Structure 1
Amino acid sequence: MYRASIIGAVLFAVAVPAAAQLVSVQLDYPPAELRAGIQGVVGFEVALAKDGKVTGCKITQTSGNADLDRQTCSQLRKTGQFKPAVDPAGQPIKSTYASRLRWSLPHTLETAPAPAPAPQ
Protein backbone atom coordinates (compact mmCIF):
# COMPACT_ATOMS: atom_id res chain seq x y z
CA MET A 1 0.00 0.00 0.00
CA TYR A 2 2.76 2.45 0.91
CA ARG A 3 4.59 1.74 -2.32
CA ALA A 4 1.46 2.26 -4.42
CA SER A 5 0.87 5.66 -2.78
CA ILE A 6 4.32 6.88 -3.71
CA ILE A 7 4.00 5.69 -7.30
CA GLY A 8 0.57 7.31 -7.57
CA ALA A 9 1.97 10.60 -6.29
CA VAL A 10 4.88 10.49 -8.71
CA LEU A 11 2.61 9.68 -11.65
CA PHE A 12 0.28 12.52 -10.71
CA ALA A 13 3.14 15.01 -10.46
CA VAL A 14 4.59 13.98 -13.83
CA ALA A 15 1.22 13.73 -15.60
CA VAL A 16 0.49 17.46 -15.34
CA PRO A 17 1.66 19.43 -18.39
CA ALA A 18 2.98 22.92 -17.78
CA ALA A 19 2.66 26.02 -19.94
CA ALA A 20 5.64 28.10 -21.01
CA GLN A 21 6.64 30.92 -18.67
CA LEU A 22 8.41 34.21 -19.29
CA VAL A 23 11.49 34.29 -17.05
CA SER A 24 12.94 37.66 -18.09
CA VAL A 25 13.22 40.20 -20.86
CA GLN A 26 15.33 43.36 -21.08
CA LEU A 27 13.36 46.23 -22.55
CA ASP A 28 14.95 49.26 -24.20
CA TYR A 29 12.42 52.06 -24.70
CA PRO A 30 12.55 53.33 -28.28
CA PRO A 31 14.40 56.69 -28.02
CA ALA A 32 11.98 58.72 -30.18
CA GLU A 33 8.96 57.43 -28.24
CA LEU A 34 10.71 58.12 -24.94
CA ARG A 35 11.45 61.73 -25.96
CA ALA A 36 7.89 62.20 -27.24
CA GLY A 37 6.36 60.72 -24.08
CA ILE A 38 4.55 57.94 -25.96
CA GLN A 39 3.23 55.04 -23.91
CA GLY A 40 1.10 52.04 -24.80
CA VAL A 41 0.10 48.43 -24.22
CA VAL A 42 1.08 45.82 -26.81
CA GLY A 43 -0.47 42.35 -27.03
CA PHE A 44 1.91 39.71 -28.37
CA GLU A 45 2.33 36.01 -28.96
CA VAL A 46 5.70 34.30 -29.28
CA ALA A 47 6.42 30.86 -30.71
CA LEU A 48 8.91 28.94 -28.58
CA ALA A 49 11.28 26.09 -29.39
CA LYS A 50 11.73 23.13 -27.04
CA ASP A 51 14.62 24.96 -25.36
CA GLY A 52 12.49 28.07 -24.69
CA LYS A 53 14.09 30.21 -27.41
CA VAL A 54 11.82 32.55 -29.34
CA THR A 55 11.31 31.35 -32.91
CA GLY A 56 8.60 33.82 -33.91
CA CYS A 57 6.65 36.79 -32.65
CA LYS A 58 3.44 38.49 -33.71
CA ILE A 59 1.50 41.45 -32.39
CA THR A 60 -2.02 40.48 -31.33
CA GLN A 61 -3.08 43.94 -30.11
CA THR A 62 -1.40 47.11 -31.30
CA SER A 63 -0.43 49.90 -28.97
CA GLY A 64 -1.34 52.36 -31.69
CA ASN A 65 2.36 53.11 -32.20
CA ALA A 66 4.24 51.06 -34.79
CA ASP A 67 7.64 51.59 -33.13
CA LEU A 68 6.43 50.31 -29.73
CA ASP A 69 4.89 47.32 -31.49
CA ARG A 70 8.10 46.56 -33.43
CA GLN A 71 10.27 47.05 -30.34
CA THR A 72 8.15 44.58 -28.38
CA CYS A 73 8.88 41.71 -30.78
CA SER A 74 12.47 42.84 -31.31
CA GLN A 75 13.25 42.78 -27.58
CA LEU A 76 11.44 39.49 -27.00
CA ARG A 77 13.47 37.88 -29.81
CA LYS A 78 16.79 39.34 -28.61
CA THR A 79 16.53 39.13 -24.82
CA GLY A 80 13.45 37.10 -23.91
CA GLN A 81 14.18 34.09 -21.71
CA PHE A 82 11.41 31.53 -21.36
CA LYS A 83 10.95 28.34 -19.41
CA PRO A 84 9.63 25.93 -22.05
CA ALA A 85 6.28 24.19 -21.80
CA VAL A 86 6.38 20.52 -20.91
CA ASP A 87 4.18 17.61 -21.93
CA PRO A 88 2.55 15.20 -19.47
CA ALA A 89 5.77 13.17 -19.36
CA GLY A 90 7.71 16.27 -18.28
CA GLN A 91 9.52 16.66 -21.62
CA PRO A 92 10.00 20.16 -23.11
CA ILE A 93 7.81 20.86 -26.13
CA LYS A 94 7.35 23.57 -28.74
CA SER A 95 4.67 26.01 -27.63
CA THR A 96 3.41 29.56 -27.69
CA TYR A 97 3.23 32.22 -25.00
CA ALA A 98 0.83 35.17 -25.20
CA SER A 99 0.63 38.23 -23.00
CA ARG A 100 0.60 42.03 -23.02
CA LEU A 101 3.46 44.40 -22.40
CA ARG A 102 2.91 47.89 -20.99
CA TRP A 103 5.36 50.52 -22.22
CA SER A 104 5.28 53.29 -19.61
CA LEU A 105 7.58 56.20 -19.07
CA PRO A 106 10.00 56.09 -16.17
CA HIS A 107 8.44 57.75 -13.13
CA THR A 108 11.05 60.52 -13.16
CA LEU A 109 10.10 61.54 -16.71
CA GLU A 110 6.34 61.37 -16.14
CA THR A 111 6.27 63.54 -13.05
CA ALA A 112 9.31 65.76 -13.38
CA PRO A 113 8.35 69.34 -12.56
CA ALA A 114 8.87 72.01 -15.17
CA PRO A 115 12.16 73.87 -14.76
CA ALA A 116 11.95 77.05 -12.73
CA PRO A 117 12.21 80.29 -14.71
CA ALA A 118 15.65 81.90 -14.67
CA PRO A 119 16.00 84.80 -12.22
CA GLN A 120 15.99 88.22 -13.86
Structure 2
Amino acid sequence: MREALAAAAIVAAVFGAQQAAAQSAYGKPLPDGRAPTVFTFYAGYQLPDDAALLRNAELRADAPDWLSPADYPKSALDAGITGSVIVQVDVGPDDALLRCRVIEDSQPAILGDVTCSLLRARGVFRHALTVEGMPTAGQVRIGAKFDLEIPKPPSNEPVNVLSLPTAWATQAVLSEPKKLVIRGAAATFTTKNPGAMAQISARGDVTGCRISWTTGTDEGDIQLCRYVSAARFKPALDKAGRPMASELYVAPQIIR
Protein backbone atom coordinates (compact mmCIF):
# COMPACT_ATOMS: atom_id res chain seq x y z
CA MET A 1 0.00 0.00 0.00
CA ARG A 2 2.78 2.46 0.90
CA GLU A 3 4.47 1.77 -2.43
CA ALA A 4 1.24 2.41 -4.29
CA LEU A 5 0.80 5.68 -2.43
CA ALA A 6 4.35 6.71 -3.30
CA ALA A 7 3.75 6.00 -6.97
CA ALA A 8 0.52 7.99 -6.87
CA ALA A 9 2.31 10.90 -5.22
CA ILE A 10 4.68 11.14 -8.16
CA VAL A 11 1.77 11.81 -10.51
CA ALA A 12 -0.45 13.82 -8.19
CA ALA A 13 2.28 16.19 -7.12
CA VAL A 14 2.82 17.29 -10.71
CA PHE A 15 -0.72 18.62 -10.93
CA GLY A 16 -0.65 20.02 -7.41
CA ALA A 17 2.60 21.86 -7.99
CA GLN A 18 1.41 23.30 -11.29
CA GLN A 19 -1.75 24.60 -9.67
CA ALA A 20 0.14 26.03 -6.69
CA ALA A 21 2.45 27.88 -9.09
CA ALA A 22 -0.31 30.25 -10.19
CA GLN A 23 -2.94 32.20 -8.34
CA SER A 24 -5.39 34.99 -9.05
CA ALA A 25 -7.16 37.57 -6.93
CA TYR A 26 -10.07 39.94 -7.57
CA GLY A 27 -10.42 43.48 -6.30
CA LYS A 28 -13.53 45.57 -5.57
CA PRO A 29 -15.93 45.48 -8.57
CA LEU A 30 -16.22 48.60 -10.73
CA PRO A 31 -19.61 50.10 -11.72
CA ASP A 32 -19.70 47.95 -14.88
CA GLY A 33 -19.34 44.75 -12.83
CA ARG A 34 -15.75 44.09 -13.78
CA ALA A 35 -13.06 43.94 -11.11
CA PRO A 36 -9.33 44.67 -11.20
CA THR A 37 -7.73 41.24 -11.29
CA VAL A 38 -4.13 40.18 -10.81
CA PHE A 39 -2.79 36.77 -11.70
CA THR A 40 0.74 35.68 -10.80
CA PHE A 41 2.54 32.68 -12.20
CA TYR A 42 5.91 30.98 -12.20
CA ALA A 43 7.79 31.23 -15.51
CA GLY A 44 11.04 29.55 -14.54
CA TYR A 45 10.53 26.86 -17.16
CA GLN A 46 11.69 29.46 -19.70
CA LEU A 47 15.19 29.56 -18.22
CA PRO A 48 17.78 27.37 -19.96
CA ASP A 49 19.00 24.40 -17.96
CA ASP A 50 22.32 24.89 -16.19
CA ALA A 51 24.15 21.63 -15.52
CA ALA A 52 26.09 23.32 -12.70
CA LEU A 53 22.91 23.94 -10.67
CA LEU A 54 20.97 21.57 -8.46
CA ARG A 55 18.36 24.29 -7.95
CA ASN A 56 17.94 27.69 -9.51
CA ALA A 57 16.89 30.75 -7.53
CA GLU A 58 13.21 31.06 -6.63
CA LEU A 59 10.54 33.29 -5.19
CA ARG A 60 9.73 31.69 -1.86
CA ALA A 61 6.30 30.09 -1.81
CA ASP A 62 5.97 30.60 1.94
CA ALA A 63 6.38 34.38 1.65
CA PRO A 64 3.38 36.73 1.85
CA ASP A 65 1.63 37.59 -1.43
CA TRP A 66 3.64 40.25 -3.22
CA LEU A 67 0.91 41.38 -5.64
CA SER A 68 -2.72 42.24 -4.92
CA PRO A 69 -5.56 43.91 -6.86
CA ALA A 70 -4.85 47.11 -4.89
CA ASP A 71 -1.52 47.30 -6.74
CA TYR A 72 -3.19 47.66 -10.15
CA PRO A 73 -1.72 50.97 -11.46
CA LYS A 74 -4.41 53.64 -11.17
CA SER A 75 -3.54 55.21 -14.52
CA ALA A 76 -3.89 51.82 -16.23
CA LEU A 77 -7.12 51.07 -14.35
CA ASP A 78 -8.67 54.42 -15.26
CA ALA A 79 -7.76 53.88 -18.90
CA GLY A 80 -9.05 50.29 -18.93
CA ILE A 81 -5.57 49.00 -19.78
CA THR A 82 -4.86 45.31 -19.29
CA GLY A 83 -1.78 43.27 -20.01
CA SER A 84 0.80 40.78 -18.82
CA VAL A 85 4.49 40.85 -18.08
CA ILE A 86 7.28 38.37 -17.36
CA VAL A 87 10.31 39.58 -15.43
CA GLN A 88 13.63 37.98 -14.64
CA VAL A 89 15.05 38.47 -11.17
CA ASP A 90 18.74 37.91 -10.45
CA VAL A 91 19.22 36.64 -6.90
CA GLY A 92 22.50 36.64 -4.98
CA PRO A 93 23.88 33.78 -2.90
CA ASP A 94 22.65 35.72 0.16
CA ASP A 95 19.02 35.71 -1.16
CA ALA A 96 19.19 39.41 -2.08
CA LEU A 97 17.46 40.70 -5.21
CA LEU A 98 20.28 42.01 -7.40
CA ARG A 99 18.36 43.00 -10.53
CA CYS A 100 14.86 42.86 -11.98
CA ARG A 101 14.22 43.33 -15.68
CA VAL A 102 11.32 42.83 -18.06
CA ILE A 103 11.68 39.85 -20.41
CA GLU A 104 8.24 39.98 -22.06
CA ASP A 105 5.33 42.39 -21.88
CA SER A 106 2.12 42.94 -23.81
CA GLN A 107 1.16 46.42 -22.71
CA PRO A 108 2.69 49.59 -21.44
CA ALA A 109 5.93 49.82 -19.51
CA ILE A 110 4.09 50.80 -16.33
CA LEU A 111 3.04 47.18 -15.75
CA GLY A 112 6.64 45.97 -15.86
CA ASP A 113 7.77 48.89 -13.71
CA VAL A 114 5.14 48.11 -11.08
CA THR A 115 5.95 44.40 -11.11
CA CYS A 116 9.68 44.95 -10.51
CA SER A 117 9.00 47.65 -7.92
CA LEU A 118 6.73 45.33 -5.92
CA LEU A 119 9.17 42.43 -6.13
CA ARG A 120 11.95 44.68 -4.83
CA ALA A 121 9.77 45.83 -1.95
CA ARG A 122 7.97 42.58 -1.04
CA GLY A 123 9.62 39.65 -2.78
CA VAL A 124 11.34 37.05 -0.60
CA PHE A 125 13.80 34.93 -2.55
CA ARG A 126 15.92 31.82 -2.12
CA HIS A 127 19.39 31.53 -3.64
CA ALA A 128 20.42 28.98 -6.25
CA LEU A 129 22.30 25.84 -5.24
CA THR A 130 25.22 24.21 -7.08
CA VAL A 131 25.34 20.47 -7.66
CA GLU A 132 27.96 20.44 -4.89
CA GLY A 133 25.37 21.90 -2.52
CA MET A 134 26.85 25.41 -2.27
CA PRO A 135 24.73 28.61 -2.32
CA THR A 136 25.29 30.64 -5.49
CA ALA A 137 23.69 33.39 -7.57
CA GLY A 138 20.80 32.42 -9.84
CA GLN A 139 17.74 33.64 -11.69
CA VAL A 140 13.99 33.20 -11.47
CA ARG A 141 11.32 34.32 -13.93
CA ILE A 142 7.96 35.48 -12.63
CA GLY A 143 4.83 36.46 -14.50
CA ALA A 144 2.05 38.88 -13.63
CA LYS A 145 -1.19 39.54 -15.48
CA PHE A 146 -3.30 42.64 -14.91
CA ASP A 147 -6.87 42.27 -16.12
CA LEU A 148 -10.43 43.52 -15.72
CA GLU A 149 -12.85 40.62 -15.36
CA ILE A 150 -16.25 39.61 -14.06
CA PRO A 151 -15.37 37.68 -10.88
CA LYS A 152 -15.83 33.93 -11.22
CA PRO A 153 -16.58 31.48 -8.42
CA PRO A 154 -13.53 29.44 -7.40
CA SER A 155 -13.08 26.06 -9.06
CA ASN A 156 -11.42 22.99 -7.60
CA GLU A 157 -11.07 21.22 -10.92
CA PRO A 158 -7.43 20.41 -11.79
CA VAL A 159 -5.97 21.85 -14.96
CA ASN A 160 -4.14 19.34 -17.12
CA VAL A 161 -0.95 21.11 -18.13
CA LEU A 162 1.01 17.97 -19.04
CA SER A 163 1.47 16.22 -22.35
CA LEU A 164 4.04 13.77 -23.66
CA PRO A 165 6.59 15.09 -26.18
CA THR A 166 5.69 13.94 -29.68
CA ALA A 167 8.69 11.57 -29.88
CA TRP A 168 7.55 9.56 -26.85
CA ALA A 169 5.11 6.66 -26.88
CA THR A 170 5.37 6.20 -23.10
CA GLN A 171 7.10 8.07 -20.31
CA ALA A 172 9.59 6.61 -17.85
CA VAL A 173 8.18 4.73 -14.84
CA LEU A 174 9.70 4.33 -11.38
CA SER A 175 10.74 0.71 -10.85
CA GLU A 176 10.96 0.72 -7.05
CA PRO A 177 8.55 3.29 -5.54
CA LYS A 178 9.69 2.45 -2.00
CA LYS A 179 13.01 4.16 -2.73
CA LEU A 180 11.14 7.45 -2.89
CA VAL A 181 9.41 7.07 0.47
CA ILE A 182 11.26 9.43 2.80
CA ARG A 183 10.69 9.12 6.54
CA GLY A 184 11.47 11.44 9.42
CA ALA A 185 12.44 14.42 7.30
CA ALA A 186 10.21 17.08 8.89
CA ALA A 187 13.15 19.35 9.72
CA THR A 188 14.52 19.45 6.18
CA PHE A 189 11.34 18.89 4.12
CA THR A 190 9.30 21.89 5.23
CA THR A 191 7.12 22.49 2.15
CA LYS A 192 4.29 20.52 0.60
CA ASN A 193 4.88 18.40 -2.51
CA PRO A 194 8.59 19.01 -3.17
CA GLY A 195 9.81 17.46 -6.39
CA ALA A 196 12.59 17.32 -8.93
CA MET A 197 13.03 16.84 -12.65
CA ALA A 198 15.06 13.69 -13.32
CA GLN A 199 17.01 13.10 -16.51
CA ILE A 200 16.71 9.38 -17.26
CA SER A 201 18.87 7.43 -19.70
CA ALA A 202 17.69 4.79 -22.15
CA ARG A 203 18.95 2.23 -19.60
CA GLY A 204 16.72 3.61 -16.85
CA ASP A 205 19.37 5.19 -14.64
CA VAL A 206 19.26 8.82 -13.50
CA THR A 207 21.89 10.98 -15.18
CA GLY A 208 20.81 14.31 -13.70
CA CYS A 209 18.52 15.87 -11.10
CA ARG A 210 17.20 19.41 -10.89
CA ILE A 211 14.94 20.71 -8.12
CA SER A 212 11.62 21.97 -9.49
CA TRP A 213 9.75 22.51 -6.22
CA THR A 214 11.97 23.03 -3.21
CA THR A 215 11.80 21.17 0.08
CA GLY A 216 12.26 24.54 1.77
CA THR A 217 15.88 23.95 2.81
CA ASP A 218 19.22 23.48 1.09
CA GLU A 219 19.79 20.26 3.04
CA GLY A 220 16.42 18.87 1.97
CA ASP A 221 16.97 19.69 -1.70
CA ILE A 222 20.36 17.97 -1.65
CA GLN A 223 18.79 14.96 0.07
CA LEU A 224 15.90 14.85 -2.40
CA CYS A 225 18.23 14.70 -5.41
CA ARG A 226 20.24 11.95 -3.70
CA TYR A 227 17.07 9.87 -3.37
CA VAL A 228 16.05 10.58 -6.95
CA SER A 229 19.52 9.80 -8.31
CA ALA A 230 19.56 6.45 -6.50
CA ALA A 231 16.21 5.37 -7.98
CA ARG A 232 15.83 3.15 -11.03
CA PHE A 233 13.29 3.59 -13.80
CA LYS A 234 11.81 1.71 -16.70
CA PRO A 235 12.89 4.00 -19.54
CA ALA A 236 10.57 5.89 -21.82
CA LEU A 237 9.83 4.30 -25.18
CA ASP A 238 9.79 6.01 -28.55
CA LYS A 239 7.11 5.44 -31.21
CA ALA A 240 8.97 2.36 -32.41
CA GLY A 241 9.00 0.85 -28.91
CA ARG A 242 12.70 1.48 -28.33
CA PRO A 243 14.07 2.73 -24.97
CA MET A 244 15.06 6.38 -25.08
CA ALA A 245 16.44 9.08 -22.80
CA SER A 246 13.78 11.31 -21.25
CA GLU A 247 12.84 13.55 -18.34
CA LEU A 248 10.30 12.90 -15.60
CA TYR A 249 8.99 15.03 -12.77
CA VAL A 250 9.46 13.00 -9.59
CA ALA A 251 7.97 13.72 -6.16
CA PRO A 252 8.56 11.54 -3.10
CA GLN A 253 6.09 10.46 -0.46
CA ILE A 254 7.06 12.22 2.77
CA ILE A 255 6.26 10.39 6.01
CA ARG A 256 6.88 12.84 8.85
**TM-score under structure 1 length normalisation:** 0.66
Looking at structure 2, the residues matched to 51 and 103 of structure 1 have their Cα atoms a distance apart, in angstroms, of 31
State the Cα RMSD in Å: 2.2
Higher RCO, 1 vs 2 (CA within 8 Å, ≥6 residues apart): 1
Residue type matched to 1:58 in 2?
R
Runs of 4+ in 1 over 3 A off after TM superposition: none
- Contact 1:55–1:77 (8 Å) recurs in 2: no
**Which runs of 5 or more structure 1 residues have no equivalent in the other structure?**
1-15, 113-120
- Contact 2:93–2:137 (8 Å) recurs in 1: yes
Q: How does 1:90-101 map to 2 (within 5 A)?
A: 90-101=133-144
Deviations 1:11-42 (A, max 9, x none): xxxxx711112124512221222233322110
Question: Which residue does the alignment assign to 1:26?
Answer: 66
- Contact 2:58–2:139 (8 Å) recurs in 1: no
Question: Which residue does the alignment assign to 1:111?
Answer: 150
Question: Which residue does the alignment assign to 1:57?
Answer: 100
**TM-score under structure 2 length normalisation:** 0.33
Looking at structure 2, the residues matched to 70 and 60 of structure 1 have their Cα atoms a distance apart, in angstroms, of 12
Deviation at 1:74, TM superposition (A): 0.9
Which protein is richer in helix relative to its size?
A: 1
Which protein is richer in strand relative to its size?
A: 2
**Which runs of 5 or more structure 2 residues have no equivalent in the other structure?**
1-52, 152-256
| Rg comparison, structure with higher value | 1
> Greater shift after overlay, 42-51 or 94-103?
94-103
Residue type matched to 2:66 in 1?
Q
Deviation at 1:89, TM superposition (A): 2.4
